[in-house]
Structure 1
Amino acid sequence: MNLFETYKQKLKKENEKRIFHFSLFTFHLRSVIIFSFSLFTFHFSSAQQLETFIEEALANNPAIQKFELKYSIASEKVNEVNTIPNTEFGVGYFASEPETRTGAQRFKVSAKQMIPWFGTIASRENYVRSLADATYEEIVIAKRKLITAVSQSYFKLYANKATQDVVAENIKLLETYETLALTAVEVGKASAVDVLRLQMRQNELVESQQILEQQYLAEQTAFNNLLNRENEVSVTVVGTLGIPLEAIDINTENLVLHPELLQYEKRYTAIEQSELLNQKESNPLIGFGLDYINVASRPDMVFNDNGKDIIMPMLAVSIPIFNKKFKSKSKQNKLEQQEILSQKQELLNTLETLLDKAIKDRISSKISYNTQIKNLRQAKNAEEILNKSYETGTIDFNDVLDIQELQLKFQMKQIEAVNTYYVQTTIINYLTKDPTGI
């Protein structure tokens, strides 16, 4: 009893207020149970808060800006291909002037312009636009992934904060248990070991609380980086979240319109345009030109056209006689289309698996949540039994600790179930979100 000598006066007062302390104990346990049932009521304000974070991330995240710039570059290439071959100019000087009937040729100036076959330039523009369309899907995919990442990080912060609150509640509850144990020791109904065991349990919970605080700060840094802002910015999460009682309809038909799949379709279209361009480029090139030859007058003769310059219009045709490369390009295009179809089917299978798993995991989280409600109700029944035991003077603090540990376990599982529910919801939204949206 030397361990409790310093508490002697306090224990006497506590013994006189025994009923008050046990009532406080009952209040704490009941308050935690009530907290568990009311913890997860979802408010519109919380959804609005998350939406604000998402809007900030979409506006500031450098990954989105990177893909937007990439799309702008791809779109600008349309102007790059909307051109014809360079006009050729030539100037020549006759070192040895050839004599003609009308005089000696002194120098020559020529100009020539080759023009692609009809529709070739339009085909190039269509091909480049189709590539830009496929690049645009990268923006849509990046935005969906960012929304998912921000949402999941937010729910991790919520789960951490909710766990901290539960741990804090249990620390207070153990303080009440400790007071009861000290009172019981004074009147000979408990031993010093009971008090030490309670204190060690408090130490473990304090340790968990401190670790959770550090984990929260780490996740807060990750969250702020997604929003492209300072790491130290404090993030306040909603106090309560709830699992909806009614089942939420999932439009699985939207999966086939997922931007990752649409990107393959647009790549397929781009290859079709590439083949059309290949066919156009296999046609001849038509060229128009003009030669001007300066002719000097013959000084010793007088006749019509003396020293008359020569102007010679020209028509040229460039025919790809050796067109093996065009045939090879056509074969490559067909093979690439087959490859894209295989890749698309493979991705569709993967996305269907992910969606099915997310749906099943969300259902499982709801089952777990409901199970923890039942467990916490049984914890209340155990509390009533302890109440009667205390009244008869036979309280067992080992049972008190067991119930407290079970209670904490149930509460954490309930928080984990809510977190899992919303994390899986973000995956489902990523896969089946209305294609008219982001």
Structure 2
Amino acid sequence: MKNKIQYKNILKISYFKYAFCLIVTLFCGFYGHAQLLENYIKQAIENSPQVKAVELNYKVAEEKINEANTLPNTEFSAGYFVSEPETKTGPQKAKVSIHQMMPWFGTITARENYSSSLADAAYVDIVITKRQLAMQVTQTYYQLYALKTKQKILQQNIDLLKTYEDLALNAVEVNKASAVDVLKLQIRQNEINEQKELLMGDEFATESKFNNLLNQEEQPIMVEDSITILEEEPFLTMNDLELHPELEKYDQLYLSIKQSTKLNSAESLPNIGFGLDYIAVQKLPNETFNDNGKDVFMPTVSVSIPIFNQQYKSANRQLKIQQEELKLKKENRKNELDSRLKDAIQQRISARISYNAQQKNITQAKNAEEILLKQYETSTLNFRDVLDIQELQLKFQLKQIEAIKNYYLQTAIINYLSN
């Protein structure tokens, strides 16, 4: 029991360490940002029917430990002699028996250990489910942030195009621009409006998904107005993947098979039974000896020997095969997690590179825009160049938001796998 408590504490520490590292990574100087996300994660875990379901499954597994500490049913039997056997002390009238089989020494302990190992495996499911839910909430949060922020950027560009449209209308009046320039600006606004409306639909679907993760009624989700990427890549300490709960689950299942092997060996041993028979005897008439009509009490002992024990041998062979199967499954899953972790690290690096590149591009596009506007003060404004610069600027802004989203999506995966 002490080892079991220590094991649970290790898993709890592992989960809270994961949550802590996630929040610290996201903090990055933005306390409100991290606090808001942390509250969402906490709410999702508290309300999640999936988490509650695995917790109930664990309670069932714990209760099976008590179920293991039982003996076979006590047997009672009673009979009445229709044809009464005659004895020297009188005719036998009825017989009552009680009998109890006892498993071999250590069998009940083996059952409890087996049930306890299954409960430990069920507890790992709780840790895995909470970590996966935290990752899903985090990723959906950043997807929602990206959708909302992109819409703001699109609206800013629509407003900017309206300003250019006013300039174009003024230029038309003084023959410095044509009506075609005005129409091109209006067409561009229509295109951006279309993008914005499509993003609104995506936002609605993502908010619905987020509300489902929180297990709450449909309502608007608050996200931060501005999120950036750290200037330097955070120091990453990757623990051995062997400590990851998904792999720990295989270790616990392997342990349960070992306990099952011990239980199977214990059950293949003989069972001992103890009992007591009581026979009611009627007195003989006209007899005066001392034992006349004396009832009979007979203690009994029985042994159940599994002579034909092929089933136990077969069970042991099956358990050995299952152990080998679990080893291979664990090795395969470890390779999958390792590949996923390395891929997430590389994609996060790529997101940072993209973010920095778009930041430079946005700065240069704004500089080009300022140059064009200064030229307008002294000469004709080239609205084709204006549209080109505006389109480039919008492209860079949207790609930068996409880079921020991808950066934190991969961060959530890294934290799930490496902490």
TM-score normalised by the chain length of structure 1: 0.88
- What is the match of residue 203 of structure 1? 190
Matched, 1:44 2:68: no
AA in 1 matched with 2:37: L
Contact 2:74–2:100 at 8 Å: present in 1 too? yes
Q: 2:165 aligns with which of 170, 178, 202?
A: 178
How far has the Cα of 1:106 moved from its partner? 0.9
Q: 1:113 aligns with which of 100, 116, 126?
A: 100
Q: 2:208 aligns with which of 217, 221, 231?
A: 221
Kindly tell me: are residues 212 and 387 of structure 1, through their superposed partners in 2, closer, same or farther at Cα, counting changes over 3 Å? same
Contact 2:366–2:393 at 8 Å: present in 1 too? no
Contact 2:102–2:273 at 8 Å: present in 1 too? yes
- What is the match of residue 256 of structure 1? 242
- What is the match of residue 416 of structure 1? 402
- What is the match of residue 131 of structure 2? 144
For residue 292 of structure 2, give the secondary structure of its aligned residue in structure 1.
coil
Find the aligned partners of 1:286 and 1:280 in 2 and give their Cα distance. Answer: 13
Equivalent pairs counted in the alignment come to 393
Find the aligned partners of 1:401 and 1:373 in 2 and give their Cα distance. Answer: 20
- What is the match of residue 128 of structure 1? 115
AA in 2 matched with 1:117: W
For residue 290 of structure 2, give the secondary structure of its aligned residue in structure 1.
coil
Find the aligned partners of 1:314 and 1:194 in 2 and give their Cα distance. Answer: 109
Find the aligned partners of 1:404 and 1:369 in 2 and give their Cα distance. Answer: 19
For residue 78 of structure 2, give the secondary structure of its aligned residue in structure 1.
strand
Q: 2:223 aligns with which of 231, 234, 237?
A: 237
How far has the Cα of 1:222 moved from its partner? 0.9
Q: Deviations over 1:183-209 (max 9, x none)?
A: 111111111000000001111112222
How far has the Cα of 1:302 moved from its partner? 2.0
Matched, 1:72 2:88: no
Q: 1:60 aligns with which of 34, 39, 47?
A: 47
Stretch of structure 1 that moved more, 410-419 or 206-215? 206-215
AA in 1 matched with 2:324: Q
Matched, 1:382 2:346: no
Find the aligned partners of 2:77 and 2:370 in 1 and give their Cα distance. Answer: 105
Q: Deviations over 1:31-56 (max 9, x none)?
A: xxxxxxxxx98511110011011111
AA in 1 matched with 2:79: G
Stretch of structure 1 that moved more, 300-309 or 219-228? 300-309
Find the aligned partners of 2:68 and 2:168 in 1 and give their Cα distance. Answer: 85
Q: 1:166 aligns with which of 153, 163, 167?
A: 153
Matched, 1:309 2:295: yes
Contact 1:42–1:242 at 8 Å: present in 2 too? no
Q: 1:299 aligns with which of 273, 285, 288?
A: 285
Task: Tell me how large the CA RMSD over aligned residues is.
Answer: 1.3
Find the aligned partners of 2:116 and 2:192 in 1 and give their Cα distance. Answer: 60
Q: Deviations over 1:295-331 (max 9, x none)?
A: 1111132222111111111111100001100000111
Kindly tell me: are residues 169 and 129 of structure 1, through their superposed partners in 2, closer, same or farther at Cα, counting changes over 3 Å? same
For residue 306 of structure 2, give the secondary structure of its aligned residue in structure 1.
coil
AA in 1 matched with 2:117: S
- What is the match of residue 280 of structure 1? 266
Contact 1:58–1:143 at 8 Å: present in 2 too? yes
For residue 239 of structure 2, give the secondary structure of its aligned residue in structure 1.
helix
How far has the Cα of 1:390 moved from its partner? 2.1
How far has the Cα of 1:392 moved from its partner? 4.0
Q: Work out which of the two has the higher radius of gyration on C-alpha atoms and give 1 or 2.
A: 1
- What is the match of residue 340 of structure 2? 354
How far has the Cα of 1:81 moved from its partner? 1.7
How far has the Cα of 1:249 moved from its partner? 2.1
For residue 300 of structure 1, give the secondary structure of its aligned residue in structure 2.
coil
How far has the Cα of 1:394 moved from its partner? 3.6
Kindly tell me: are residues 58 and 284 of structure 1, through their superposed partners in 2, closer, same or farther at Cα, counting changes over 3 Å? same
Kindly tell me: are residues 41 and 249 of structure 1, through their superposed partners in 2, closer, same or farther at Cα, counting changes over 3 Å? closer
Contact 2:273–2:301 at 8 Å: present in 1 too? yes
- What is the match of residue 317 of structure 2? 331
For residue 292 of structure 1, give the secondary structure of its aligned residue in structure 2.
strand
Find the aligned partners of 2:308 and 2:28 in 1 and give their Cα distance. Answer: 74
TM-score normalised by the chain length of structure 2: 0.92
AA in 2 matched with 1:228: N
Find the aligned partners of 1:100 and 1:422 in 2 and give their Cα distance. Answer: 92
How far has the Cα of 1:176 moved from its partner? 1.1
Find the aligned partners of 1:240 and 1:334 in 2 and give their Cα distance. Answer: 56
Contact 2:265–2:312 at 8 Å: present in 1 too? yes
How far has the Cα of 1:389 moved from its partner? 3.2
For residue 124 of structure 1, give the secondary structure of its aligned residue in structure 2.
helix
Q: Deviations over 1:370-402 (max 9, x none)?
A: 100111122133224313532442421111000
Matched, 1:85 2:85: no
1:386-405 matches, cutoff 5 A: 386-405=372-391
Find the aligned partners of 2:28 and 2:368 in 1 and give their Cα distance. Answer: 26
Find the aligned partners of 1:159 and 1:384 in 2 and give their Cα distance. Answer: 27
Find the aligned partners of 1:218 and 1:99 in 2 and give their Cα distance. Answer: 89
- What is the match of residue 322 of structure 1? 308
Contact 2:284–2:293 at 8 Å: present in 1 too? yes
How far has the Cα of 1:212 moved from its partner? 1.8
